[in-house]
């Protein structure tokens, strides 16, 4: 029997359903109870449907009793980022421009695969408007906060997903990542966030951010990330750019370990600068990797920051989204988005081609690096979570969210798989993330390395402080 259902992983729950120790109804009630207790302080959910969830859980319970479970995740409480179409529920994308009226007749591929595998959908979780930035606040839904310290940001743009998982409001969530939007909030909230190789998880409708955009899991364990990938990576004919379904199971490949793996460690990609507590936690994690038999070499990539090229691609997409709502739309959006679009306006076709050339150069360099090294590890972020309600920390070098996320967006440019796993805490008790990057289509290798590190540490078992602990005089 699982002692605390709200902290059970998806793989724990499936095993408990199979043995009969726990029912999907009990697990769903535990998740809904956690939402009732915590979400008024965290604001991770923009829609919760308790009765629908409980009805789905009862149907799952009946299937388990009949020993006829429906797929890999039957009865697992699940939340969906509010950028992904979900049948019967509005997808508002954090914007007042989106009307909740409509048929909402389709599931996005990720949602369809989860539903086909019996997942119990709890509701939808928050995103900044159109997923445009690295924190989660929006005109429609307000500010999403960090369970480790509600005065701090959860990160973004999948901040609702990460905050929900970190706070026990469901064991996993599906998010999206166009520049770090899965890994940033995973790093800030102490959970696992995996961005797969582009095209491994089908997307529909096509993202306005083009081939920067990925969908993937946010979970409390690497095993759960692998299990969700076994579900999400199944084909969907609506995405013409998706690759074939991966061969075999990600979950079955987690035991490959790290002995003999060649790992490059770059603390800064050649242009970043880290908070001392972040640097110390990541270097300690690197020592763990060495202890697991990996050959780790600290390297200087010698890169210059590709942020200008990224901005051309990113803000062209954001501008196209807003433009689609017609004249006057820019006066109704997040004022900081409007200001960002003014700063990054007037890109030409030549600018787009130049940015693509930078992207191709980075991809070539990473392809060559992976001929020498199986993996690259970096900090997920150079800093811990900062004040909620801000786009950038105080004294930021620029007004753009990319100023404090230097280690995530490069791997959207290159389309490589990358995972953030918790690797420690700052002196102030805020989580730190380790990023593990692999070659394109090396998703199983990345997850296997993350599992080996997770199993040699206990960071993923830590839980956010209670409200009483947060308010105690010794708390942060």
| Burial letters 323-361, b for 16+ CB under 10 A, else e | eeeeeebeeebbebbeebbeebeebeeebeeebeebbee
181 is catalytic: yes
Q: Which of 107, 124, 133, 132 is nearest to 43 (CA)?
A: 124
Tokens of 193: 């966030």
Active site residue 81: yes
Q: Supply the Cα-derived Rg of the chain in whole angstroms.
A: 21
Q: Considering the candidates 23, 60, 79, 81, report the single residue annotated as catalytic.
A: 81
Identify whether the C-beta of residue 195 lies closer than 8 Å to the C-beta of residue 419.
yes
Q: What gap in Å lies between CA 118 and CA 103, rounded to an integer?
A: 23
C-alpha–C-alpha distance, residues 458 and 16, integer Å? 22
Closest listed residue to residue 424, CA positions, set 474, 366, 381: 381
For 449, residues 6+ apart whose C-beta sits below 8 A from its C-beta are 258, 261, 263, 289, 375, 436, 438
Q: Which one, of 463, 6, 15, 464, lies nearest residue 223 by Cα?
A: 15
Concatenating the DSSP letter of every residue in 249-288 gives -TGGGGGG--TT-EEEE-SSTTT----HHHHHHHHHHHHH
User: Catalytic annotation on 161?
Assistant: no
E strand or H helix that includes residue 434: strand 431-437
Residue matched to tokens 């805490």: 425
Q: Say how far apart CA 360 and CA 12 lie, in whole Å.
A: 42
Identify the CA nearest to 215 among candidates 56, 417, 54: 417
Question: Among residues 60, 157, 161, 420, which one is catalytic?
Answer: 157
Which positions are catalytic? Answer: 81, 157, 181
């Amino acid at each position: 029997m699982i002692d605390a259902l709200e902290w059970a992983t998806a793989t724990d729950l499936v095993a408990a359903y199979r043995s009969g120790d726990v029912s999907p109804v009990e697990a769903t009630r535990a998740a809904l109870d956690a939402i009732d207790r915590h979400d008024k302080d965290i604001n991770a959910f923009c829609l919760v449907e308790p009765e629908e969830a409980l009805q789905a859980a009862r149907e799952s319970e009946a299937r388990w009793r009949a020993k006829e479970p429906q797929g890999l995740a039957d009865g697992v409480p699940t939340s969906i980022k509010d950028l992904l179409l979900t049948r019967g529920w509005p997808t508002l994308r954090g914007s007042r421009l989106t009307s909740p009226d409509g048929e909402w007749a389709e599931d996005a591929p990720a949602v369809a695969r989860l539903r086909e595998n019996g997942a119990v959908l709890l509701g939808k979780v928050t995103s900044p408007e159109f997923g445009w930035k690295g924190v989660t606040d929006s005109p429609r839904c307000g500010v999403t906060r960090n369970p480790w310290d509600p005065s701090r940001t959860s990160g973004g743009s999948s901040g609702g997903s990460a905050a929900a998982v970190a706070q026990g409001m469901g064991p996993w969530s599906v998010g999206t990542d166009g520049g770090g939007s899965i890994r940033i909030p995973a790093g800030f909230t102490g959970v696992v966030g995996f961005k797969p190789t582009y095209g491994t998880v089908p997307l529909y409708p096509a993202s306005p951010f083009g081939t920067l955009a990925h969908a993937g899991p946010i979970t409390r364990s690497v095993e759960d990330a692998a299990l969700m990938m076994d579900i999400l990576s199944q084909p969907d004919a609506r995405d013409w750019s998706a690759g074939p379904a991966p061969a075999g199971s990600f979950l079955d490949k987690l035991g490959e370990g790290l002995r003999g793996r060649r790992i490059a460690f770059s603390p800064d990609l050649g242009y970043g600068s880290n908070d001392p507590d972040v640097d110390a936690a990541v270097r300690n994690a690197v020592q763990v990797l060495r202890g697991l038999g990996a050959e780790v070499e600290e390297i200087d990539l010698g890169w210059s920051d590709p942020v200008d090229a990224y901005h051309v691609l990113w803000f062209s997409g954001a501008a196209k989204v807003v433009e689609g709502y017609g004249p006057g739309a820019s006066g109704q959006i997040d004022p900081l988005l409007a200001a960002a679009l003014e700063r990054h306006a007037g890109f030409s076709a030549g600018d787009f081609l130049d940015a693509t050339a930078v992207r191709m150069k980075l991809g070539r360099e990473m392809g060559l690096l992976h001929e020498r090294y199986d993996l690259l590890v970096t900090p997920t972020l150079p800093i811990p979570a900062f004040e909620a309600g801000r786009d950038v920390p105080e004294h930021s070098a620029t007004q753009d969210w990319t100023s404090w996320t230097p280690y995530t967006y490069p791997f959207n440019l290159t389309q490589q798989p990358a995972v953030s796993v918790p690797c420690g805490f700052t002196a102030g008790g805020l989580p730190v993330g380790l990023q593990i990057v692999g070659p394109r289509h090396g998703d199983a290798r990345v997850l296997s390395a993350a599992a080996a590190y997770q199993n040699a540490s206990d960071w993923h078992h830590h839980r956010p402080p209670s409200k009483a602990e947060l308010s105690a005089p010794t708390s942060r």
